[in-house]
Chain A
Amino acid sequence: MSANVAAAAKAAPPPGDKSAISVRDMRKCFGDHEVLKGISLEAHKGDVISILGSSGSGKSTMLRCINLLETPDSGEVRVDGELIKMKQSRDGRQMPADIRQVERIRANLAMVFQSFNLWSHMTVLENLVAAPTHVLKRPRAECLEQAEALLKRVGIWERRNYYPPHMSGGQQQRAAIARALAMNPKVMLFDEPTSALDPELVGEVLRVMRSLAEEGRTMLVVTHEMGFARDVSSKVMFLHKGEVDSVGEPKEMFAKPPTPQFKQFIANFNK
């Protein structure tokens, strides 16, 4: 771990009122391969944190460990100050102690996936109301009204009765973002939201994400979009080989890369 990170970790305030997500010393192995070697992260309300790193650096795994799509081997995750309770299973691995708690927390951490993952047997509108009505148990009429408004906002209201496979990738991803917004989430997790898109469709998705950042949403964004990281996010975190290599203000990080690894990483992108 670089000196820079140790300083950042020390300087980070304890999880208080404003902490949206707090990760402490998260570790995760896949077989013999240690993907996360003790990651810590602090996201305050309104933060937009871009998580950068070359492929295999552990950035997607970290995001997936936060909402327990992957179970971290050790470490703590707090969402809105609430610790996700873990216990030891019989084979000695860590597992969630209370699946109800995990489900409740997941509903507050709406995720947007690289491959959209809209439910293909439901229309766009049904995709937006499924979780709010069944998981959050909100009245259907209210959910429908909100869903239509969200679809207008992301610009695909005319497609509300389409099935996802009938839409372009950009439209599907905007629908997926609207599905996430329909949960009124405390934090939004984006897992490489533009990586599966044709280049000409990336812009429409980034525009929506930028508008979410501007209205003060808390977002963790795993991305390869350097422009988004530099211009939109409030913080940039660079992972290298399963460790936090550097964290900082985007303008400073890009103007004066704090570590040789990060310098190399952005140099590769500017080629």
Chain B
Amino acid sequence: MEFLSDLQAQFSTAYELLAAGWGVQLLWGIGWTLAVTVVSMLIGAVLGSLVASAKLSHRGGLRFIGESYTTVFRGEPELLIIYLFYYGGTQVLTGVARSTGSIGSTDILNMPSFLGGVLAVGIISGAYQAEVFRGSFLAIHRGELEAARAYGMSAWLRFRLVIVPQVLRLAVPGLGNVWQLTIKDSALISVTGVAELMLTANKAARSTHHSLLFYTVAGILYLVMTSISTPIFEKAERYTSRSFTRPK
């Protein structure tokens, strides 16, 4: 009985804390987490498709650049890349600004935390997306590309009319995977000071001493975000592969 009343007390504390403003802050945290993830995915999509084309190129130099990119950014710890971009970026920006005289010789020009964070996570996401795009391109039926050439399509037309739609179709399941990875990587951006979900949960836990409560709530919220994305990607997969599944 004592245990039950204790639990009840826990719940009412939790409710009070969340109602006292931490709840709203956590919701903002979700918003920032999603913003970081979406922007990083977009940066990653651009970089990933460039890197994938480099890796598929018949020019040795481009292939080497592409290979190095995916080897480095998949092989290094994510946190290291984030530190490198955020603190390294700050050092570079400061150096440039001091030498051009835009700031004083003792001032520091900080890397904007959101920008530094999404660049780092976007570059990592790009390394994984590059592999997804490369695999998808290789899975396109060669004959369809040949038909596009035989009908006089230029390289750009073949890219736009045949390659992109088919790569997207084949890439959806793999991109779903990268999306989940990127949501989780976004938590690491908390070290740069973006008030996303992880940082908010951290702040709440420290200032209220209710670590168990806030980390559990944050954990549940991450799980909700990743599980909601699964059916969305499944739906996208059904849509993009409609030409391969029998019509009902």
Task: Report how far A65 CA is from B153 CA in the complex, Å.
Answer: 17
Q: Using CB atoms, name the residue of chain A closest to B155.
A: A99
Encode A140-175 as 1/0 by CB contact (under 8 A) with B. Answer: 000000000000000000000011111000000000
Known interface pairs A119-B144, A120-B141, A121-B243; A131-B166 also in contact (CB < 8 Å): no
Beta-carbon contact of A111 and B150 below 8 Å: yes
Footprint of A on B, CB under 8 Å?
Answer: 141, 143-144, 146-154, 157, 161-162, 165-166, 169, 242-244, 246-247
Known interface pairs A134-B161, A165-B244; A119-B153 also in contact (CB < 8 Å): no
Q: Using CB atoms, name the residue of chain A closest to B152.
A: A107
Beta-carbon contact of A120 and B144 below 8 Å: yes
Beta-carbon contact of B244 and A106 below 8 Å: no
B148 smallest CB distance to A (angstroms): 7
Q: Using CB atoms, name the residue of chain B closest to A102.
A: B152
* A67 in contact (CB, < 8 A): yes
How many chain A residues touch B (CB < 8 A): the figure is 32
A-B CB contact pairs (8 Å), 22 listed:
A67-B150, A69-B150, A103-B153, A105-B152, A107-B151, A110-B150, A111-B150, A113-B147, A115-B143, A116-B143, A117-B143, A118-B144, A119-B148, A119-B162, A121-B162, A121-B166, A121-B169, A130-B151, A130-B161, A134-B153, A165-B243, A165-B244
Task: Report how far A241 CA is from B161 CA in the complex, Å.
Answer: 38
Known A131-B151, A134-B161; further 16 A-B contacts with Cβ < 8 A: A69-B150, A103-B153, A103-B154, A106-B149, A110-B151, A111-B150, A113-B147, A117-B143, A120-B166, A121-B162, A131-B152, A135-B151, A135-B157, A163-B243, A163-B244, A183-B152
* A93 in contact (CB, < 8 A): no
Which B residues are in CB contact (< 8 Å) with A119? 144, 147-148, 161-162
Beta-carbon contact of A104 and B150 below 8 Å: no
Footprint of B on A, CB under 8 Å?
Answer: 67, 69, 99, 103-107, 109-111, 113, 115-123, 130-131, 134-135, 162-166, 179, 183
Q: Closest 10 CB pairs between A and B? A: A107-B152, A163-B243, A117-B143, A117-B147, A131-B151, A106-B152, A111-B150, A103-B152, A135-B152, A121-B165
Task: Report how far A130 CA is from B244 CA in the complex, Å.
Answer: 20
Beta-carbon contact of B243 and A164 below 8 Å: yes
B5 smallest CB distance to A (angstroms): 62
Which A residues are in CB contact (< 8 Å) with B150? 67, 69, 106, 109-111, 113
Known interface pairs A131-B152, A134-B161, A135-B152; A120-B146 also in contact (CB < 8 Å): no
Beta-carbon contact of B146 and A113 below 8 Å: yes
Task: Report how far A179 CA is from B169 CA in the complex, Å.
Answer: 23
Q: Using CB atoms, name the residue of chain B closest to A135.
A: B152
Which A residues are in CB contact (< 8 Å) with B146? 69, 113, 117
Consensus secondary structure, chain A interface: loop
Task: Report how far A179 CA is from B150 CA in the complex, Å.
Answer: 12
Q: Using CB atoms, name the residue of chain B closest to A103.
A: B152
A265 smallest CB distance to B (angstroms): 28
A153 smallest CB distance to B (angstroms): 19
* From A110, A120, A130, A183, residue with most partner B Cβ within 10 Å: A120
Which B residues are in CB contact (< 8 Å) with A69? 146, 149-150
Task: Report how far A156 CA is from B200 CA in the complex, Å.
Answer: 61
Q: Using CB atoms, name the residue of chain A closest to B140.
A: A120
When the two chains form the complex, which single residue of A118, A123, A162, A163 contacts B147, counting CB atoms closer than 8 Å? Answer: A118
A86 smallest CB distance to B (angstroms): 17
Task: Report how far A169 CA is from B67 CA in the complex, Å.
Answer: 40
Beta-carbon contact of B246 and A166 below 8 Å: yes
Q: Using CB atoms, name the residue of chain A closest to B145.
A: A117
B157 smallest CB distance to A (angstroms): 5
Which A residues are in CB contact (< 8 Å) with B242? 163
A248 smallest CB distance to B (angstroms): 29
* From A115, A117, A135, residue with most partner B Cβ within 10 Å: A117
B103 smallest CB distance to A (angstroms): 50
Beta-carbon contact of B151 and A183 below 8 Å: yes
B75 smallest CB distance to A (angstroms): 34
When the two chains form the complex, which single residue of B143, B157, B166 contacts A134, counting CB atoms closer than 8 Å? Answer: B157
Task: Report how far A166 CA is from B149 CA in the complex, Å.
Answer: 24
Q: Using CB atoms, name the residue of chain A closest to B142.
A: A117
Q: Using CB atoms, name the residue of chain A closest to B166.
A: A121
Beta-carbon contact of A166 and B247 below 8 Å: yes
